[in-house]
Structure 1
C-alpha cells in the first residue's frame, strides 16, 4: 500500500468526519476493503495504527464494521484485542504483522478505536433488518435479485442492499448495490423471509469465491464487504434455503394422465434454480436433457408439453418461451425413442435386472 494511497484515505476520512454519516462511511470503507490485497493490508493497517489520529482511527473502525464477523457487536470487535489496549503502541504493530487474514488484522488494529470517536461513528454496523424481497431481475429469471432493507439503531439512514444472483452459472453473486429504499418500487420483487434472503446472499458470495472466471460487475468488490457483513448479521439465517416455487405451482398442474410424472422430471431438471426459465433452457430440457437422462412412461411423454406450457404460464407467459415449446415439443416422442441420445446411466437403468 503506497504512502499516496494512505494519504488519500486519511484525506477522505477527514471529509467523512465532517459528514457524520455512518452509512456513507461504511460504503467508503467497503470500497477500501474491497481494493485491499492480502499483502497490502498489513502495511496499510500498520500505517493507520502508527498514525493514531482521528482520521486513522475512523478508518480502522469503519474497516472493522464491514469486515468483522457481523454477529459480533461493533463495540466488541472480536476475541483478539490489541495487546496494550491503545492504538499506536509497539504491540499494535506486532499484532497487525502476526496475521495475513485481513478481517482478523482489522479487528486487532481497530480494538478500542470506536471509544475515541464521535457517537455517530459508533452506530456503524449497528443496523436492524426491516424486510426482505426476492424475485426475477429479468423476464427469464437468468438473474434474480435478493434485497434486504436496513435502518440504523437510531432510526436514521434507511437503505436497501440489492444483490444480483446469476442463474446460468450456478447462482453466484454478480452485482450488488446499496440504495435508498424507494429503489425497490420498480423492481417488482415479492416479500420474503429476511433470514432466507440473507442466506441466499451469503451462499451466492461463497459460490463466487469457488468459481473463477465468471464475469461480474466491476463495482461488486467494493460493495461485497458491506453486503456480506449486512447479510451475516440478519437474525434467523437459513443457509442453503429451498424454494417453494414448485409447491406453489403444483395446484396448477394439468389434470392429464402422466402429468405428475412429467412434472417430477421437470423439477429434477430445474433443481434449485426454478425462476430461471428462458427459451434456451426450455429447449435444452425438451431436446437434450429429457432424451439423455429421463425414463418416462408414454403418458408422461404425451403430457409433458402441457406441463411445460403450464409451468411457462406460471412464470409470466413469455411468448418467446411458448414459441420454443411449440417448435420443440412435437419432436419429443421421437427424441425419447432414440436410444442413441440416451446417456450411459439411462441405458444401464433400462436394462432388465436378473
Structure 2
C-alpha cells in the first residue's frame, strides 16, 4: 500500500517487555488475569487481560503496521505503549523472546530474575544466578522457594549493578567495608517489590581469587529461563559446592548445626563425584573436606587441596571482635575510611538497622551513639 506525497510512513508496532509470563492455567489466571509483564520503563509489573492481553500476544508473534488497526485496536496499542509494553521505535531492543508459564511459586519473584538479567545486560555486566529455586530444579535441595534472589558478578560490578537497580525500586545497603574485599555480597533492599537481592562478588569458603572463581563458575554455567529470559546458573556440581559452602559458613561465630551439615552433604551427594573436582578447582577443600569424606569415603578425597580461605578466621569469630579481625585484613590505605564508616554508619544503613524508614535525624544520631558505646564495652570485655 503506497502513501501519498507528504504522508508519514506507517509505524510497525511490536510487543516489548523485560519479562513475560503466561498465566493461563496458573492459579492467578483463575482470577481473570492472562499475562504478567514487566514493562521496559522502570516501574511495577503489569497484569493484562481481555483485549490488552490478546493484542500484546498478537504483536509479539506478528508485529503490525498501525494502518492495519481498527480504531479500538489502535487505542489499545497506544495504551500498551504508555505502559511500556509496546513500541514502534526501532531503537528499542528490549523484548521478551519467549512467553512461558511461571515455574516459580511466586511469578512476581520470577520477574526479578529477568529484570536483573536485563539491567546487567544494559550495563555490560556478566551475571550468574546462584542458589534459589534452581537448586530445587537441579535436585540439590528439597525446598522449592527462596525469599530473595542471589546473583554473582565480578568484584566491582556489584556496585554498578546496585546503582542501576535504584531506578527500579531497590536500595543498596552499603557496608562500612565496601571496596575492601571483606564483604562477599551487597544487599539490595526492596520497596513494593518485596524481594531482596544479594549481589555476590565473592563466595566465602573459596581459597582462590574471586575473579578466578567467577570465571570458573561462569565458564561451566548452564542456561535457564526465568519469565521468558535466558539466564546463566551454575552447573550441577559447581552449584552443589556453592550451596554446601553456604550451609557450612560460620554465622557470627556459630558453627553450622547438624541440619545445615546434612543439607550440605545432600547437595554434594546429589550432584555426584564431580563435586570433588569442583571443590578442588574452587579452593573449597578446607571447608568441605569432612563432608566430602562422609559422603564418598576417605580414599575419594586423596589429593584434595585444603588451603585455608583468608577470611575464615574472622568469619569464625563472634561479636565486635569479628569486626576487629576483619578490619585487620583491610589494606592500610583503606583503614581510615572503613573506621569512619564503622564508627558513624551511613543514614541508609542506620535506617535499615533500626527498621524505621521514617526515623528523624535525632533518633539516628542517638542510635549511632548507642551502637558505638556497645561496641566499645564489648571490646573492653564489658557487658
Q: Which TM-score applies when normalising by structure 1?
A: 0.29
More helix by share: 1
Q: Which TM-score applies when normalising by structure 2?
A: 0.27
